[in-house]
Amino acid sequence: RSALVWFRRDLRSFDHAALYYALRRFERVHCVFVFDREILDALPDRQDRRVEFIWRSVQELDAALDRLSRQSGGAGGGLCVRHARADEAIPRLARELGVDAVYANRDYEPAARARDRRVAERLAAVGIAFEDFKDQVIFERDEVLTQSGQPYSVFTPYKNAWLKKLDGFYTQSYPVARYAARFAPKAEGERIPDLAALGYEPTNLAGLRLPVGMSGGRKLLDDFAARIGRYRETRDFPAVKGVSYLSPHLRFGTVSIRELAAFAWAEGGAGAETWLSELIWRDFYQMILWHHPRVVDASFKPEYERIVWDDAPELFAAWCEGRTGYPIVDAAMRQLNTTGYMHNRLRMIAASFLTKDLGVDWRRGERYFADRLIDYDLASNNGGWQWAASTGCDAQPYFRIFNPVTQSQRFDREGAFIRRYVPELARVPGKFIHAPAKMGAADQAACGVRIGHDYPAPVVDHAVARGLTLTRFAAARM
């Protein structure tokens, strides 16, 4: 009896639920990854850091699976890689290989759930089973509910219940290596298509400080382990190396959430506790998306569907391109555009600015992030945007509006981050770095920056925008 393990957002050869169960239950196990045309063909750009991240991580995974098999006395293994629609390729390959079952780890996004249903139906029609497993979160779906059996919509009580339920059982690693002799060898001539064959060009990924694959995830985790004790004090400052930078690895499963949660739990102390809390936010938003798939394009709080947003194409373009005249927002957007990453504090500031200062619909900002973040994850991105826009569950109240200048003063005090990403402001003195338009003609001449010429004047007045936003929300709440 044999099975096919379908890798998706779990590109690792260790502590892998579907792989473990397949190896334990079947004599021969094949592995596949599909570059899904349904997803790839819809991406807006032929240079996409995520596609390259996946492509390079898939190569490492292929080699790791082969090594694992040989080390266990097997004949070698590895990944069959396809470039096709997954809902067609998986049933086809399963039939060709004559397997009894297809195993995969569960995905909570509505489109992925629909795809998996189609695959399961097609497989069932030819007598092949489809089974999926919890793998990418610690607690999923209905595992953490309120006392009355309802899903939580407020984070803190969810977190408390989550922590109460956590024990060693849920963070136990799946010992894949134990059964690794059961990997089926790859068919003769199986090759991983190169990036060009997938229709993509290389990006600047190799030049970023983001190592890929399982080895990259391990490297970042080791680096962060030495800093986790200071996480609470440093995590809000984008110019400081305070956070873990593990989000792309969590997104593509090149690290194991069980290993990370067990590590933070065992470490203890304020830093590790705060970091574990962030991992719980990740579970929380996956749970929200599972129970409320409508949030994909609708406000969690229905009354806010009545908000009348501004179209503002020019303001939106200024935000996208990092030329709003608010240095912290511009630095944030340029970090996103040039690296595919944005620090969490800046995501909050940039999202708040788009929705509350420019009055633009959160869905447009969410889409822009979705196209560019390497760690883009529907559940967390949607949750983060709806939090900032005040339309989400347990969101920032609508009347608490970030002031982009005071946020900048608090979290990039010296302007080090601004100067890194907005080099035209590098010579602006510290007292003007957060609001350079306040410089008079003499100060502008002294540092060689002409406002409106070398760097834009603010595209909106924050105090005026704040008033408009309060009115906009009040009207929707009536």
Nearer to ligand FAD, 72 or 234 (CB): 234
Active site residue 6: no
Stretch that binds ligand FAD, among 127-135, 173-181, 378-386, 392-400 (CB under 6 A): 378-386
> Is the Cα dihedral 232, 237, 239, 245 positive or negative?
positive
Interface with ligand FAD, residue 381, by CB under 6 A:
yes
Interface with ligand FAD, residue 136, by CB under 6 A:
no
Task: Give me the least distance between CB of 24 and ligand FAD, in Å please.
Answer: 29
Task: Give me the least distance between CB of 243 and ligand FAD, in Å please.
Answer: 3
Active site residue 162: no
DSSP output for 139-186:
S-TTSSB-TTSPBP-SHHHHHHHHHHH--HHHH----GGGGGGGBPPP
Give the phi and the psi of residue 212 in degrees, each rounded to 5. -100, 175
Nearer to ligand FAD, 69 or 380 (CB): 380
The torsion of the CA quartet 429, 435, 437, 441, rounded to 10 degrees, works out to: -30
- Distance CA(396)–CA(365), nearest Å, equals 17
- Do 22 and 5 meet the contact criterion of CB atoms below 8 Å apart? yes
Quick one: tokens of 298? 């609708």
Nearer to ligand FAD, 279 or 315 (CB): 279
Over the window 355 to 374, marking each residue x when it contacts ligand FAD by CB under 6 A and - when it does not, the resulting string is --------------x---x-
Active site residue 290: no
Q: Which of 50, 186, 282, 462 binds ligand FAD (CB under 6 A)?
A: 282
- Distance CA(358)–CA(364), nearest Å, equals 12
Nearer to ligand FAD, 258 or 282 (CB): 282
Stretch that binds ligand FAD, among 278-286, 287-295, 298-306, 433-441 (CB under 6 A): 278-286
Interface with ligand FAD, residue 465, by CB under 6 A:
no
Interface with ligand FAD, residue 347, by CB under 6 A:
yes
Q: Which of 152, 183, 285, 353 binds ligand FAD (CB under 6 A)?
A: 285
Q: Which of 243, 264, 333, 358 binds ligand FAD (CB under 6 A)?
A: 243
DSSP output for 381-419:
HHHHHHHHTT-STTPPPTT----HHHHHHHHSTT-HHHH
Please give the single-letter amino acid code of residue 404.
P
Nearer to ligand FAD, 68 or 346 (CB): 346
Residues near 104 by beta carbon (within 8 Å), at least 6 away in sequence: 5, 6, 7, 8, 18, 116, 130, 131, 132, 133
Q: Among 131, 344, 403, 424, which one carries the catalytic annotation?
A: 344
Q: For the chain, what is the largest distance between any 2 Cα atoms, rounded to a whole number of angstroms?
A: 81
Burial class (CB in 10 A: 0-12, 13-18, 19+), 297: exposed
Interface with ligand FAD, residue 244, by CB under 6 A:
yes
DSSP output for 120-140:
HHHHHHTT-EEEEE--SSSS-
Q: Which of 200, 245, 398, 402 binds ligand FAD (CB under 6 A)?
A: 245
Active site residue 362: yes
2-7/101-105 β-pairing: parallel
- Distance CA(249)–CA(238), nearest Å, equals 20
Q: Which of 246, 264, 336, 465 binds ligand FAD (CB under 6 A)?
A: 246
- Nearest alpha-carbon partner for 197 in 80, 88, 82, 93: 82
Q: Among 362, 381, 382, 387, which one carries the catalytic annotation?
A: 362
Interface with ligand FAD, residue 247, by CB under 6 A:
yes
Over the window 383 to 422, marking each residue x when it contacts ligand FAD by CB under 6 A and - when it does not, the resulting string is xxx--x----------------------------------
Active site residue 387: no
Stretch that binds ligand FAD, among 176-184, 209-217, 380-388, 390-398 (CB under 6 A): 380-388
**φ/ψ bin of 121: left (φ > 0), alpha (ψ from -120 to 50), beta (otherwise):** alpha
- Do 334 and 322 meet the contact criterion of CB atoms below 8 Å apart? yes
- Distance CA(10)–CA(252), nearest Å, equals 6
Q: Which of 100, 281, 403, 405 binds ligand FAD (CB under 6 A)?
A: 281
Active site residue 273: no
Residues 327-346 touching ligand FAD, rule: CB under 6 A, are 344
Please give the size of the binding site for ligand FAD, defined by CB under 6 A. 28
Nearer to ligand FAD, 316 or 455 (CB): 316
**Active-site residues: which are they?**
278, 281, 309, 344, 362, 385
Residues forming contacts to ligand FAD in the complex (CB under 6 A) are: 235, 243-247, 250-251, 278-279, 281-282, 285, 344, 347-348, 351, 369, 373, 375-377, 380-381, 383-385, 388
